[in-house]
Amino acid sequence: MKNIVLSQDKFIPSQSGANITFHRLAWDNSSQPESIIAGSDLRYYSLASENTALHSHEFAEFFIVISGKVRHIVNGETQDLQAGMLTFIRPNDVHSFEKLNDSVCEMVNVAFKLELLLDLSTYLGNDFFLRRYTGPVLPPTFTLSLVETEELALRLIRLITLQKTDLDQARLKLKMILAEIFTRFFLEWQTPDPSRPQWFDKLCSEMKRKENLIGGLKTMLKLAPCTQQHLCKCFRQYLNTSPTEFINEQRIKLAAKQIIETDEKILAIALEYGFKSLSRFYKIFHKYYGVSPARLRQISRQKVIPL
């Protein structure tokens, strides 16, 4: 299959320095084949063929899968991607997408000029993150949690509209997001600590279940095979947090998801997840999301794209 090279001048607006797009890939044998290379911010594809066009770019990009699954063919290798997977594409990478188990896939893609990475390198005073970004044969791929995926997708989709209404602010926010993402994944990212006990990971997984979160610290202590003192030490050592802070974070994430997806009253949601004080719920919510619960619900419904 012939490789299509996408030019920077054609696909990246000169003023914003980036092109943010939402893609929905569905596979329908009754329709005419279309390429993922198209010309609008919201792109919906009903593909007759089982793959998109093989292509590379003169610019950099990253994309995050927000729902479904898709097979990613890149540099001659195959990656099966699912919701939460964040993939970075370099200018020399050659890639396309293929059908995976008839799953409809939704993703947000950010294509941007390389100059933005050079600006970040100058700001940081080194290019170590660039070496970790460009070094691997296959594009770097990381997995985010469901809540992290929704948060990132929402921030990026909001920029689509902002680029049309306030270009200066959109450009600034884009640079902030790029700095945050590249710093996190290419400077701060660490592999899991091999010394972390299996029971600790299992406990954290169990405590993400709604029924355990409602039980709070009492339930955690019942599930933990150690004393409360040792448990606190483990949370501080492995996650740099406390058991109570971990529980509150998981509660808030589930509450935020329910606030976005339902019309249920905020007070009822707060009580449902074990918050006895509405003021405390608002305080913790604002700590993690930077806005009130009502504002997050309002923001999420300004978009026509389901997250």
Mean pLDDT for the chain?
Answer: 81
More confident residue, 9 or 193: 9
Residues of the chain with CATH 2.60.120.280: 4-188
Determine whether 273 is exposed, middle or buried from the number of CB atoms within 10 Å of its CB (0-12, 13-18, 19+): buried
Residues in the chain: 307
Token pair 């070496």 is found at 131
Is the pLDDT confidence value at 40 over 50? no
| Burial class of residue 268, CB neighbours in 10 A (0-12, 13-18, 19+) | exposed
pLDDT at residue number 101: 84
Closest to 75 in 3D by CA, of 60, 59, 90, 61: 90
For the domain 4-188, what is the CATH code?
A: 2.60.120.280
The SS3 call for residue 161 is helix
Average pLDDT over residues 177-193: 75
Strands 18-27 and 42-47, how do they pair? parallel
| More confident site: 14 or 140 | 140
Within 13 A of 225's CA, how many CA atoms are on the CB side? 7
The confidence score (pLDDT) of residue 224 equals: 93
* 84 DSSP assignment: T
Could you tell me which residues come within 8 angstroms of residue 74 by beta carbon, excluding any fewer than 6 positions away? 89, 93, 94, 95, 138, 139
Per-range mean pLDDT, top range of 68-72, 123-127, 290-294: 68-72
What pLDDT does 60 receive? 92
Higher pLDDT, 130 or 48: 130
Of 17-31, 214-228, 251-265, the range with the lowest mean pLDDT is 17-31
pTM of the predicted model as reported, rounded to 2 decimal places: 0.58
- Element at 156 (helix H, strand E): helix 146-165
- For residue range 115-141, list pLDDT tens digits in order: 888 888 887 777 778 888 888 888 999
Instruction: Tell me the CATH number of domain 198-300, given options 1.20.120.330, 1.10.10.60, 3.20.20.70, 3.30.870.10.
Output: 1.10.10.60
| Tokens 């919510």 -> residue | 285
